[in-house]
Amino acid sequence: MTDLAPYAASDHNSRGRRYDEDTPPGRSEFQRDRDRIIHSGAFRRLEYKTQVFVNHEGDLFRTRLTHSIEVAQIARSIARRLRLNEDLAEAISLAHDLGHTPFGHAGQDALNVCMKAYGGFEHNLQSLRVVDKLEDRYAAFDGLNLCFETREGILKHCSADNAAKLGDVGERFVKGRRPTLEAQVANLADEIAYNNHDVDDGLRSGLITLEVLETVPLVAAQLNEVRQAYPGLPERRVVHETVRRMINLLVTDLIRQSEANISKHVPATLEEVRGAPALIAYSTEMNEQQRALKNFLRIHLYRHYRVLRMSAKAQRIISNLFDAFMADNRLLPPHFQQQVGSNDTGHLPAFLEKQQESDRARTVSDYIAGMTDRYAIREHRRIFAVEELV
């Protein structure tokens, strides 16, 4: 690994793990985190969870797994140039979507509505819940027992109310402080990956066209360069080359501006990074261009009628499953039945009954959030379709 900057995260300045473990031989602490994430069940399930398109719509569209790998590649490249901890940036990138529901943001929105009376649902919080509690691979502890800095980076957003309940990992939201630079890098690498790859998938699906995309300055500039340099190039290769150049342009700008920000504030330690403004950032001009791209995708891709139709179906599936499991938890698999207990709470005091109902709802949401797209569709058929017997 490249010599780390003094303000980078490392084994020496890490706040450690919730449960003490022996130092891993031959690996750094953040390499161990990365490896545990890759071997987790939640990571494997990302293969069949979607970004924009539901999994069965085609094998060539991005999934949460391919997206996470692409984010990790971009984050490592940026971290290396800035002399940050590549392994931490990679671990955060690979774990940041572990708590995502099936059916992308449509699934999250539906589950949040279902959980409104029980504290809501947010995929960043669920990703942390996965690595802190739900993974059950180890004898000595629940979850993956990741380092504080990895857990902190997974939690990109958090309300003040939720942050206050999370202890040390939510502290920065309460005090208005920053995470590590590696976490900041992973956050923007995520943005670079999904914006540009949604362009690619949108074009591949036919929901958006190059002609419409040419209204976006960031796309138009790179597209014109490609066409001038390679006249007669097939459109598919034009798209790949344009997207490649867009990613390179954004990454280069981010590195350049971040280096300038670091030079201006001169943090000497990781704690000084936490007290500084966000140091990983685009230039003002590039920030405006990438915001224009995000706005274009929101209007022309995410709100396309075909995407909205599938989103509506997805939301009905999530809502139906949640209502069915809450009405009769005997419909849950045995492992989850054991966690929720009986539906019969009439003998309990009102406050305990309310708490038990809330706990049951959280367990049901854990089960649904962990589903892949195709598993959720099959589970819905098993419960609601007459022709499905089991």
Q: Does residue 21 sit within a domain?
A: no
pLDDT (0 to 100) of residue 204: 85
Q: Between 349 and 236, name the one with better pLDDT.
A: 236
pLDDT value, residue 60 = 45
Position 123 scores a pLDDT of 92
* pLDDT average, residue stretch 344-360: 73
**Among 305, 325, 359, residue at a domain's last position:** 305
Would residue 107 count as lying in a domain? yes
Same domain for 158 and 82: yes
CATH number at residue 277: 1.10.3210.10
Residue 41 lies in a domain: yes
CA 227 to chain centre: 34
Same domain, residue pair 46 and 159 = yes
Could you report the per-residue pLDDT of 14-68, keeping only the tens digit for each?
999 999 999 989 999 999 999 999 999 999 999 988 866 554 444 446 789 999 9
The answer on 281 and 178 residing in a single domain is yes
Give every CB contact of residue 326 below 8 A, 6+ residues apart in sequence.
360, 361, 364
Q: Kindly state the tokens that stand for 256.
A: 């350049």
Please tell me whether residues 265 and 153 are part of one structural domain. yes
Q: Is 16 within a domain?
A: no
The last residue of one of the domains, among 248, 281, 305, is 305
The string of pLDDT tens digits covering residues 264-306 is: 999 999 999 999 999 999 999 999 999 999 999 999 988 889 8
Let me know whether 295 and 312 are in one domain: no
Can you give the pLDDT at residue 63?
Answer: 87
Let me know if residue 13 belongs to a domain: no
| pLDDT of res. 75 | 98
Tell me the C-alpha to C-alpha distance, in Å, between residue 111 and each of 54, 120, 310, 317, 320.
Answer: 17, 8, 16, 10, 10
User: Buried b vs exposed e over 112-136: b needs ≥16 C-beta within 10 Å?
Assistant: bebbeebeebbbbbbbbbbbbebbe
Claim to verify: residue 208 and residue 220 sit in the same structural domain: yes
Residue of 387 and 272 predicted with greater confidence:
272
pLDDT digits (tens, 9 = 90+) for 92-142: 999 999 999 999 889 999 999 999 999 999 999 999 999 999 999 999 999
% of the chain beyond a pLDDT of 70: 93
Q: Rounded distance, CA 240 to CA 1, Å? A: 31
Residue 254 lies in a domain: yes
Q: Please determine, for residue 206, whether its predicted confidence score (pLDDT) is greater than 60.
A: yes
Confidence of residue 72 (pLDDT cuts 50, 70, 90): very high
Q: Are residues 163 and 293 in the same domain?
A: yes
In a domain, 116, yes or no: yes
Claim to verify: residue 250 and residue 346 sit in the same structural domain? no
Per the structure, how many domains does the chain have?
A: 2
Q: Are both 147 and 294 inside the same structural domain?
A: yes
* 70 and 156 both lie in a single domain: yes
Q: Is residue 10 part of a domain?
A: no
Q: What is the distance between the alpha carbons of residues 321 and 150, in angstroms, rounded to a whole number?
A: 32
End residue of a domain, out of 305, 333, 356:
305
> Containing domain of residue 82, as a range?
29-305
Mean pLDDT calculated for residue range 368-379: 95
Do 78 and 180 belong to one domain? yes
pLDDT of residue 380: 96
Share the mean pLDDT of the chain.
91
Q: pTM higher than 0.85 for the full model?
A: yes
Q: Are residues 159 and 299 in the same domain?
A: yes
